Amino acid sequence: DLVFHDPPALIEIFKDLFHHDVNMLFSTSKLASFTYSQITAFQSDLRDRGLIQNDVMTCLLPPNIQPGIVTALMQHFGLCFEVRVKEKMDRRVQTCQYKIPWYLHQQMPEELSIAWPADVPEQQEQLQILCDIRGFCPR
């Protein structure tokens, strides 16, 4: 069991990463070490696929916050999931990224709509899953 003595402070830390406006999220001077094209790619990854690199997430957090603790808490609460991605240039090197479902769109991606029709044929079955989160959920 985890006990938080100051839950509002924890929520404020999470709010630094959860924005509806991805452009505003990336408008921080802490990303100055990255090029414009890299930042554009980071924005696209987060907006379109819900993916953010560990080092980018570290830059978006306040300076006095340890990123390892934040990501561990986010994983514990199901707010993000760790994804290991192999580098394109060197397949032996893996980059740690996090999948943040908050940024995923509710619409079905276009490439899936071809493989998964809106109307299910009679000879097929469709399974739908609904996740109902009850209780405290930082938004």
Range with the poorest average pLDDT among 15-19, 74-78, 96-100, 117-121: 15-19
Query: Which residues in 93-130 are b (16+ Cβ under 10 Å) and which e?
Result: eeeebbebebbeeeeeeeeeeeeeeeeeeeeeeeeeee
Cβ atoms of 46 and 100 closer than 8 Å: yes
Against a cut of 0.75, is the pTM above it?
no
**Across 84-92, average pLDDT:** 67
DSSP-H helix ranges across the chain: 7-15, 22-25, 36-44, 54-60, 67-76, 110-115
**Across 109-122, average pLDDT:** 72
**Across 117-131, average pLDDT:** 77
pLDDT in the model for residue 104:
75
135 band by pLDDT with thresholds 50, 70 and 90: low
Asked if pLDDT for residue 139 goes beyond 50, the answer is: no
Q: Enter the DSSP assignment of 102.
A: G
Model confidence over 24-81: pLDDT tens digits? 888 888 898 999 999 999 998 888 888 888 889 888 887 888 888 888 888 888 888 8
> For residues 96 and 30, what is the distance between their CA atoms, to the nearest angstrom?
19
Q: Enter the DSSP assignment of 63.
A: T
Cβ atoms of 82 and 75 closer than 8 Å: yes
